């Protein structure tokens, strides 16, 4: 056992052996943090004699949790089923199901995804007579999510009722939405953590029970935690406070989904006698690549100081390439993929093209298609969000949770079985008049005198299947149940018989779903020594993302946003569109903290590369129907001004009329305060009028209406008075 710990560097070993009290491990990109967490867990169990059941390890992805379990077993023969290992949502879900008697729900509650939420909100809007133009569904759903991540239920924001039309109606929507969720015995994704925290804060006995269980707490990717996650871990780690948080504030890129960077920045201030350990030895990238990353991130002021180092030498210098347009940029990327792949014998899946926004993938895709090169958009449409897959999942949810009215309405006539809108309305009215659930109204269809004999027959057949599936689900595993449901409704057979290629493709997806169920059963059986039932499978599926299904064995070029690239690594990385307005994004120009997050985004992108790194920007880029001139990102200027690399090592296109100094023009200090109505001049867009301003000093952003008809938000440093 001692030999295994010799594989660690001194900083990793210190993190492994520092077990008591609060520990902050600042783990830089590629510094082996996963290995450190695994070895620390093994050390607690094998050397400190801690019961595995008393260890809680929280990861941010299901894939990371699975990898941790696998490596604990393969390296140290530790049975992962004895540990509490999983994402925040999976741990909280396990706790909620166990303690459901203290919640508004039954133990078989359903988890609603984004589509389920929107469908429920539409019904709420109809009931409350809400205008969708005034309250866009997506905006309201996002605001509900934000409030829940701030630990605020409808009753907690009633004081906002008197603060305008929008707040008053939002509270009505939020209140009714939450009421409907409870009526359907369902929760949305944010409820899982919210109700867990609510339970622990309001029930001292339950809190004490889990504090007694969790003697040692480890949190991975701590820089990505939000308010609720911070409060949860703070509560559960008491009173011993043996909490170890691992993360990197330089990779905090998720503020838009509620992550609070201050959780990691202030950890040592909030926890007295914190031991801080820095993992700065990088095992992924070459010295040349890390040189760029270090120079870039030093420009951020809100961070824990750290400097990544590497022993990996490389003959491949990072390349900065300026192209004429987004089309030539895409062609350049594809040409380099073909050239490098051939010269250095790299596979297509060794390459990744990273971009700030999803829309940037189109030109790259077009160029790859033109050369017949396969590609995968990582983190695109979630496999489990495909219509045919959601249909089968809806069947499973209804089997488990009879109160899931949304699910019942989805499956009652899918596939088509002669139960139309008139019949469904009649069943709904029967349920309302008898004050029973929609599910019970289906089961008691023979009592519904308003239905035709044909309709009663169709509904009776459906209800009989429901009864049988629910009975079978008590003693057959999830794989067997999925096969039975798909067979009983002839779903796969109908899709396969169609001559429509789209339906044939859906059939292939159904087969893949069956295969994924089989794989889940095998892995669950191995980890838990017991068969998984429908509840276990749905718990897993409800928390999956498409990134959890990312297959590195597929030989295709990887296209993905920088946000989706976090945690991944590739031999060759192209970061495209490094321009003002894209990276940093236009929406992030108002405040310095947002600029710093954009800088962290580029830092994350750079540190995904192992051997080859290409940074590109275009002189012109088409936006909507217009082609506009583009400015190189200020971040490129920061690298260019501060890096020790000679200009000959940065590849630029031959253009004697335009020297590199011009491309990295330094903005003038702000000397004038601009007021709405004043005319300004911008070197790219020309003359315009200031409409409004936001921020102060060098961070001020002006909203400008240009004479060309364009409306832009631009930092005050880049305009001049007329």
- For tokens 């009753």, name the residue: 155
Say how far apart CA 557 and CA 375 lie, in whole Å. 4
Tell me the CA distances in angstroms from 304 to 29, 33, 233, 272, 605, one per residue in order: 14, 17, 21, 17, 19
With b meaning 16 or more CB within 10 Å and e meaning fewer, what string describes 133-172? eebeeeebbeebbebbbebbebeebeeeeeeeeeeebbbb
Four-CA torsion 340, 343, 347, 348, nearest 10 degrees:
30
Task: Report d(CA 470, CA 248) in Å as an integer.
Answer: 47
Catalytic residue among 99, 116, 191, 221: 221
Both structure tokens of 253:
């890129």
Q: Is 221 a catalytic residue?
A: yes
Q: Which residues of 246-256 are buried (b: 16+ CB within 10 A; e: fewer)?
A: bbbbbbbbbbe
DSSP 3-state of 370: helix
Distance of CA 534 to the CA centre of its chain: 25
Q: Which of 18, 19, 34, 327 is catalytic?
A: 34
Is-catalytic flag, 220? yes
**686-694/679-682 β-pairing:** antiparallel
Q: Answer yes or no: 251 catalytic.
A: yes
Q: In sequence order, what are the residues at sequence separation of 6 or more whose Cβ sits closer than 8 angstroms to the Cβ of residue 673?
A: none
Closest C-alpha to 348, from 565, 568, 614, 552: 552
Query: Considering 87, 110, 196, 251, which one is annotated as catalytic?
Result: 251
CA atoms within 13 A on the CB side of 310: 25
8 A C-beta contact, residue 630 and residue 581: yes
C-alpha–C-alpha distance, residues 615 and 609, integer Å: 11
User: 354: helix, coil or strand?
Assistant: strand
Helices within 77-161 (DSSP H only): 88-98, 114-128, 137-149
Q: Which of 33, 147, 336, 566 is catalytic?
A: 33
End-to-end CA distance of the chain: 74
- Beta-bridge partners for 55: 216
Active site residue 33: yes
Structure tokens at 51: 């019961």
How far is Cα 435 from Cα 574, in angstroms, rounded to an integer? 61
Report whether 280 contacts 11 (CB < 8 A).
yes
The residue from 608, 619, 621, 712 that is catalytic is 608
Helix (H) or strand (E) holding 639: helix 634-642
Which residue spans within 592-716 are E strands per DSSP? 609-618, 620-623, 626-629, 679-682, 686-694, 701-706, 711-715
Residue 112: helix, strand or coil by DSSP?
Answer: strand
DSSP string, 392-449: HHHHHHHHH-TT-HHHHHHHTTSS--S--HHHHHHHHHHHHHHT--HHHHHHTGGG-T
Please identify which of the residues 220, 250, 326, 580 carries the catalytic annotation: 220
Pairing verdict, β 84-87 and 309-310: unpaired
Catalytic machinery residues? 33-34, 220-221, 251, 608
């Amino acid at each position: 056992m001692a030999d295994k710990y010799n594989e660690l560097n001194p900083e990793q070993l210190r993190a492994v052996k520092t077990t008591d009290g609060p520990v902050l491990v600042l783990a830089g990109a590629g510094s082996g943090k996963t290995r450190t967490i695994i070895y620390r867990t093994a050390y607690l169990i094998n050397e400190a004699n801690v019961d595995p059941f008393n260890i809680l390890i929280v990861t941010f992805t299901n894939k990371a949790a699975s990898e941790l379990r696998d490596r604990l077993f393969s390296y140290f023969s530790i049975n992962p089923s004895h540990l509490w290992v999983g994402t925040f949502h999976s741990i909280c879900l396990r706790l909620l199901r166990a303690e459901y008697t203290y919640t508004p729900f039954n133990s078989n509650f359903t988890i609603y995804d984004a589509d389920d939420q929107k469908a429920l909100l539409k019904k709420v809007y109809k009931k409350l007579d809400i205008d969708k133009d005034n309250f866009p569904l997506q905006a309201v759903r996002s605001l509900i999510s934000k409030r829940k991540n701030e630990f605020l239920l409808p009753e907690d924001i009633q004081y906002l009722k008197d603060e305008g039309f929008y707040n008053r109606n939002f509270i009505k929507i939020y209140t009714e939405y939450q009421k409907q969720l409870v009526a359907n015995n369902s929760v949305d994704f944010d409820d899982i953590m919210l109700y867990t925290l609510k339970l622990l804060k309001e029930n001292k006995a339950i809190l004490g029970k889990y504090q007694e269980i969790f003697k040692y707490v480890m949190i991975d990717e701590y820089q990505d935690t939000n308010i609720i996650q911070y409060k949860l871990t703070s509560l559960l780690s008491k009173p011993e406070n043996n909490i170890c948080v691992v993360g990197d504030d330089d990779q905090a890129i998720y503020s838009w989904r509620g992550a609070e960077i201050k959780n990691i920045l202030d950890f040592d201030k909030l926890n007295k006698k914190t031991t801080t350990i820095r993992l700065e030895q990088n095992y992924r990238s070459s010295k040349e690549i890390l040189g760029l990353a270090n120079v870039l991130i030093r420009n951020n002021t809100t961070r824990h100081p750290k400097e990544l180092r590497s022993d990996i030498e490389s003959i491949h210098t990072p390349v900065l390439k300026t192209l004429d347009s987004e089309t030539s940029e895409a062609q350049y990327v594809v040409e380099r993929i073909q050239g490098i792949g051939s010269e250095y014998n790299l596979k297509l899946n060794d390459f990744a093209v990273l971009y700030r926004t999803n829309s940037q993938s189109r030109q790259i895709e077009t160029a790859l298609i033109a050369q017949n090169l396969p590609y995968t958009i990582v983190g695109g449409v979630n496999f489990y969000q495909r219509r045919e897959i959601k249909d089968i999942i809806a069947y499973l949810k209804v089997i488990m949770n009879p109160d899931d009215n949304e699910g019942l309405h989805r499956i009652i006539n899918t596939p088509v079985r002669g139960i139309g809108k008139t019949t469904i309305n009649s069943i709904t009215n029967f349920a309302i008049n008898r004050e029973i659930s929609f599910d019970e109204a289906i089961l008691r269809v023979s009592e519904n005198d308003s239905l035709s004999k044909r309709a009663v027959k169709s509904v009776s057949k459906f209800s009989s299947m429901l009864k049988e599936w629910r009975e079978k689900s008590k003693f057959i595993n999830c794989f067997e149940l999925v096969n039975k449901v798909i067979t009983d409704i002839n779903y796969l057979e109908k899709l396969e018989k169609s001559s429509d290629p789209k339906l044939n493709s859906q059939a292939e997806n159904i087969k893949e779903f069956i295969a994924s169920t089989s794989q889940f059963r095998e892995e669950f059986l191995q980890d838990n020594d017991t068969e998984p039932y429908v509840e276990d499978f749905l718990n897993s599926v409800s928390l999956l993302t498409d990134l959890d299904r990312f297959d590195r064995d597929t030989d295709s070029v990887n296209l993905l946003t920088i946000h989706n690239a976090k945690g991944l690594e590739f031999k060759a990385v192209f970061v495209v569109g490094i321009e003002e307005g894209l990276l940093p994004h236009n929406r992030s120009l108002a405040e310095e903290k947002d600029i710093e997050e954009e800088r962290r985004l580029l830092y994350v992108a750079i540190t995904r590369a192992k051997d080859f790194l290409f940074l590109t920007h275009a002189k012109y880029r088409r936006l909507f129907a217009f082609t506009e001139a583009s400015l190189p990102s200020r971040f490129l200027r920061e690298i260019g001004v501060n890096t020790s690399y000679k200009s000959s090592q940065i590849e630029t296109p031959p253009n004697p009329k335009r020297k590199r100094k011009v491309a990295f023009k330094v903005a003038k200090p702000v000397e004038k305060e601009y007021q709405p109505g004043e005319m300004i001049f911008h070197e790219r867009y020309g003359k315009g009028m200031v409409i409004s301003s936001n921020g102060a000093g060098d961070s001020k952003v002006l909203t400008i209406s240009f004479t060309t008809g364009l409306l832009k938000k631009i930092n005050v440093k880049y305009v001049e008075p007329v």
